[in-house]
Amino acid sequence: MSTTETMFTDRSDFDYDYETLRTTGVVLAIIMFVSGILIALSKKFTKCVKSSSKSSSSATEIPKKEVPPQTV
């Protein structure tokens, strides 16, 4: 026996399930892609909603008094 055969004697015992690995990878890629788009769009829409609601509600808010900076 050569040294190469003694180092890799149990290599034939383990086989990769490439079909399951490929399917899992594609499913995870789709989930991450869709969730990234949803996060990006949700931040974009929440900015628009908050800014438009601020302008309409600012007329009904009581103006705050400015406090002078404290000196030590």
Q: What share of the chain is helix, strand, coil (3-state, %, to 5)?
A: 65, 0, 35
pLDDT tens digits for range 12-66: 666 778 999 999 999 999 999 999 999 999 987 776 655 555 555 555 667 677 8
More confident residue, 2 or 33: 33
| Number of other CB atoms surrounding residue 44 within 10 Å | 10
Question: Looking at the predicted structure, is the pLDDT value of residue 5 above 90?
Answer: no
Q: Provide the pLDDT for residue 55.
A: 52
Confidence check: pLDDT of 70 > 70: yes
In this predicted structure, what is the pLDDT of residue 67?
78
Q: Which pLDDT belongs to residue 47?
A: 67
Task: Please tell me the distance from the alpha carbon of residue 10 to that of residue 12, in angstroms, as a whole number.
Answer: 6
What is the rounded CA–CA span in Å between residue 70 and residue 7? 76
